[in-house]
């Protein structure tokens, strides 16, 4: 007992004398208040006139703390020296609430004039650190999800990795940033408040399995993990700062102050150069991925490695490719026969082959569960599969194969575009054209790191000019299409092709001043043939107002094909008629050929016929913040 007492006393002496802050800092508070890292800890925008991004009053200890770094520093130091009030045992001491501030202030600021710091026990923080056990950081990019407009650009979150001696990656902690949206939110309000503001947002910590399951298993989105090469000290600083920001609120703006922006800001705490340009007017996740890939950290690359995390759908396609024709045929019979495992062909297979088929069918069930409405049938069939698999010996029979050529998001084309060109109408009038697109890709541009038969463009302007006048030829507020997404093996069907477009355009080529505002939507089917070709047909409608007001039904036939590695062509014929079919409009023909001659450069030839024929040639330059 006595021996234990002296051990304990020795430990206490050690704690008191050696674990207290060394007060190694030499800067005055006034000097440190201008430190960039201090500003980053306070989430100040670079524009000094703007207040800090965090809107929770409790985050700033000074009344002026959201704008005044010195006032906040002074208030923070004062709070660090405050004795904890015994009357409020539940109240956390400032040192426990702000461990990253404490770390930086004690490192940089000369605290000797303030005397000795009181002893503080930050048990909650220590518990959290012990639980989360952060040794390294990764940024995870969840690929775009066409099921939700807000998810089409993809999503970023942080993964806080435990030491490598711990086994399961799924039990690492992940840090997410997102808007706080009421349940059953009106979709229109959701979009408007998302874009123009009105939602609070914040960081949340959850174990990685929730995101892994949600994105990969439910939304069927591939993920890419960008593991970062940060020092232990900087990982510790970010971990401490994560504790500081958890539970605090921000304003949410989908265009710029979104997940990608605030995940980048968190990492920039330990970087000398920003991941995204300070002048960014919009921030998309792939831009941050590019920033990670290009960033330097302490004279070496910030990025350590990139890991592909396939969705269930990617796993299904991977497994399907590994099946022999006979195994594919038997699996098809099992599906068509309601998973009746008395199937003769199946019964005659060796156990390993049976296991291979069952494991592939599990993936099949996972995918159609997300795509097929009849959950009861899926569940019943999965149950049969389960029963059959439990009869066979344990152990995986099929290995996850190589990534089937999918490219990481940072390799994709830059999202914004300038264009400049010339146009001729009916061989009688020549024009100059100029364009600007905010984001993201169109179905003629490079297919790297995206669905090759999809279009996702927002704020796409094109102006046309002659010697007298410059006019807006076209403005697409939104131009989305998904002409083809891969079908599920064995189902022999492809998802619907669809498109949605809204904006302003010249009514036809014969009258460039006859503008209409429009909304249109189409749905149909597509057919892939050859290696890189797609034909499609769609029916839809268009509502427009301006030079003419009308509601029309439309039909479209199109072809999208690759003309070699760098060139693509799109042809489309469109016919419209009044909704009551009392009048047909002239048909429209559209043809465009694109050739990418450098990573950020394209040249395009365009021919459209709509009352008059417009022939154009233009150069596109792609860029990003």
Partner 1 sequence: MNKTILSALMVGTLAAGAAMPAAAASDNKKSLNAWQDCGIGAIIFPANGTAAAISNIIWDLGTTAVTSNASSQNSCSGEKAKTAMFIQATMPVLEQEVAIGEGEYVTAMLELRGCEAASHSAIINAVREDFAEKENDSAQALYETLEQRVETSFSASCASV
Give whichever of 78 and 387 is closer to partner 1, judged by the CB atom.
387
Q: Could you tell me which of 278, 279, 276 has the C-alpha nearest to residue 290?
A: 276
The interface region with partner 1, picked from 182-190, 434-442, 452-460, 501-509 by CB under 8 A, is: 182-190
> Is residue 497 packed enough to be buried (19+ CB in 10 Å), middle (13-18) or exposed (0-12)?
buried
Number of neighbouring beta carbons within 10 Å of residue 604 = 19
Binding-site member from 205, 256, 304, 550 for partner 1 (CB under 8 A) = 205
Q: Which residue has the tokens 């050929």?
A: 593
Q: Could you tell me which of 10, 286, 300 has the C-alpha nearest to residue 141?
A: 286
The interface region with partner 1, picked from 12-20, 266-274, 333-341, 477-485 by CB under 8 A, is: 12-20
Give whichever of 177 and 544 is closer to partner 1, judged by the CB atom.
177
> Is residue 428 packed enough to be buried (19+ CB in 10 Å), middle (13-18) or exposed (0-12)?
exposed
CA distance linking residue 436 with residue 428, whole number of Å: 26
CA distance linking residue 484 with residue 236, whole number of Å: 45
The interface region with partner 1, picked from 66-74, 89-97, 175-183, 482-490 by CB under 8 A, is: 175-183
Nearest approach, Cβ of 173 to partner 1 (angstroms)? 7
Near partner 1 in 223-252, by CB under 8 A: 243, 246-249, 252
Near partner 1 in 96-155, by CB under 8 A: 118-119, 121, 123-124, 126-128, 130-131, 142, 145, 147-148, 150-151, 153-155
20 binds partner 1 (CB under 8 A): no
480 binds partner 1 (CB under 8 A): no
Nearest approach, Cβ of 454 to partner 1 (angstroms)? 17
Binding-site member from 60, 203, 261, 339 for partner 1 (CB under 8 A) = 203
12 binds partner 1 (CB under 8 A): yes
Strands 303-309 and 601-610: unpaired
Q: Give 464's strand partners.
A: 433, 471
387 binds partner 1 (CB under 8 A): yes
CB within 8 Å of 449: residues ≥ 6 apart: 286, 406, 407, 408, 409, 410, 411, 412
CA distance linking residue 279 with residue 274, whole number of Å: 11
CA distance linking residue 75 with residue 97, whole number of Å: 14
Binding-site member from 68, 72, 219, 225 for partner 1 (CB under 8 A) = 219
Binding-site member from 72, 217, 257, 476 for partner 1 (CB under 8 A) = 217
Give whichever of 33 and 385 is closer to partner 1, judged by the CB atom.
385
> Is residue 623 packed enough to be buried (19+ CB in 10 Å), middle (13-18) or exposed (0-12)?
exposed
Nearest approach, Cβ of 472 to partner 1 (angstroms)? 30
Q: Could you tell me which of 48, 238, 20, 56 has the C-alpha nearest to residue 129?
A: 238
366 binds partner 1 (CB under 8 A): yes
Near partner 1 in 255-274, by CB under 8 A: 258-259
Binding-site member from 38, 98, 199, 625 for partner 1 (CB under 8 A) = 199
Q: Which residue has the tokens 């990003």?
A: 624
Nearest approach, Cβ of 179 to partner 1 (angstroms)? 4
Q: At 6, which helix (H) or strand (E)?
A: helix 2-18
Number of chain positions touching partner 1 (CB under 8 A): 86
Binding-site member from 346, 362, 431, 518 for partner 1 (CB under 8 A) = 362
Nearest approach, Cβ of 259 to partner 1 (angstroms)? 7
Number of neighbouring beta carbons within 10 Å of residue 189 = 13
389 binds partner 1 (CB under 8 A): yes
CA distance linking residue 486 with residue 397, whole number of Å: 25
Nearest approach, Cβ of 455 to partner 1 (angstroms)? 19
The interface region with partner 1, picked from 68-76, 198-206, 411-419, 517-525 by CB under 8 A, is: 198-206
CA distance linking residue 403 with residue 485, whole number of Å: 18
Nearest approach, Cβ of 180 to partner 1 (angstroms)? 6
Q: Could you tell me which of 529, 520, 533, 446 has the C-alpha nearest to residue 481?
A: 520
Strands 155-161 and 136-142: antiparallel
Binding-site member from 28, 186, 214, 296 for partner 1 (CB under 8 A) = 214
Binding-site member from 53, 59, 98, 177 for partner 1 (CB under 8 A) = 177
Nearest approach, Cβ of 435 to partner 1 (angstroms)? 28
- Quick note: the x/- pattern for partner 1 over 28-67, rule CB under 8 A, is ----------------------------------------
The alpha carbon of residue 4 and the mean position of all alpha carbons in its chain are separated, in whole angstroms, by: 55
Binding-site member from 105, 109, 134, 201 for partner 1 (CB under 8 A) = 201
Strands 588-598 and 533-546: unpaired
């Amino acid at each position: 007992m006595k021996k234990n007492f002296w051990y304990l006393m020795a430990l206490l002496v050690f704690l008191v004398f050696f674990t207290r802050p060394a007060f190694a800092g030499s800067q005055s508070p006034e000097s440190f208040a201008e430190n960039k890292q201090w500003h980053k800890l306070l989430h100040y925008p670079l524009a000094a006139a703007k207040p800090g991004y965090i809107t929770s009053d409790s985050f700033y200890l000074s009344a002026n703390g959201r704008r005044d770094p010195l006032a906040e520093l002074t208030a923070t130091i004062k709070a660090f020296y405050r004795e904890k009030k015994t009357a409020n045992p539940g109240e956390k001491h400032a040192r426990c609430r702000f461990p990253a501030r404490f770390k930086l202030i004690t490192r940089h600021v000369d605290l000797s004039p303030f005397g000795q710091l009181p002893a503080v026990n930050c048990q909650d923080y220590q518990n959290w650190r012990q639980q989360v056990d952060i040794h390294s950081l990764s940024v995870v990019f969840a690929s775009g999800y066409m099921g939700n407009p807000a998810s089409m650009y993809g999503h970023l979150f942080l993964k806080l990795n435990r030491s490598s001696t711990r086994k399961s990656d799924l039990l690492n902690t992940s840090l997410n940033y997102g808007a706080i949206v009421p349940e059953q939110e009106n979709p229109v309000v959701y979009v408007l408040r998302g874009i123009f503001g009105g939602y609070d947002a914040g960081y949340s910590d959850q174990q990685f399995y929730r995101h892994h399951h949600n994105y990969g298993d439910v939304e069927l989105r591939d993920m890419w993990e960008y593991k970062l090469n940060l020092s232990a000290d900087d990982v510790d600083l970010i971990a401490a700062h994560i504790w500081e920001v958890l539970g605090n609120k921000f304003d949410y703006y989908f265009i710029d102050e979104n997940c990608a922006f605030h995940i980048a800001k968190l990492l920039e705490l330990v970087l000398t150069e920003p991941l995204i340009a300070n002048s960014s007017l919009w921030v998309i996740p792939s831009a941050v991925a590019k920033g990670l890939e290009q960033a330097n950290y302490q004279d070496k690359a910030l990025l350590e490695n990139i890991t592909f995390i396939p969705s269930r759908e990617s796993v299904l396609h991977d497994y399907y490719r590994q099946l022999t024709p006979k195994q594919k045929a038997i699996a098809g019979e099992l599906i068509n026969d309601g998973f009746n495992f008395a199937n003769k062909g199946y019964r005659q297979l060796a156990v390993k082959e049976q296991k291979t088929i069952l494991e592939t069918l599990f993936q099949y069930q996972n995918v159609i569960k997300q795509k097929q409405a009849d959950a009861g049938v899926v569940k019943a069939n999965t149950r049969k599969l389960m029963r059959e698999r439990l009869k066979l010996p344990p152990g995986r029979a099929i290995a996850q194969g190589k990534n089937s050529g999918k490219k990481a998001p940072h390799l994709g084309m830059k999202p914004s575009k300038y264009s400049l060109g010339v146009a001729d109408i009916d061989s009688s009038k020549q024009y100059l054209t100029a364009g600007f697109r905010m984001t993201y890709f169109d179905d003629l541009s490079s297919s790297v790191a995206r669905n090759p038969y999809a279009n996702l463009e927002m704020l796409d302007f094109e102006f046309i000019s002659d010697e007298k006048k410059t006019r807006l030829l076209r403005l697409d507020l939104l131009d989305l299409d998904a002409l083809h997404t891969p079908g599920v093996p064995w189902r022999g069907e492809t998802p619907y092709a669809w498109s949605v477009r809204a904006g302003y355009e010249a009514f036809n080529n014969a009258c460039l001043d006859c503008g209409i505002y429009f909304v249109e939507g189409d749905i149909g089917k597509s057919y892939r043939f050859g290696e890189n070709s797609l034909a499609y047909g769609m029916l839809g409608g268009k509502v427009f107002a301006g030079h003419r007001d009308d509601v029309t039904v439309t039909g479209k036939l199109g072809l999208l094909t690759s003309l070699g590695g760098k060139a693509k062509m799109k042809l489309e014929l469109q016919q419209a008629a009044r909704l009551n079919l009392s009048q047909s409009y002239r048909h429209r023909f559209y043809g465009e050929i694109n050739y990418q001659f450098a990573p950020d450069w394209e040249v395009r030839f365009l021919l459209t016929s709509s009352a008059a024929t417009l022939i154009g040639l233009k150069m596109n330059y792609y860029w990003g913040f």
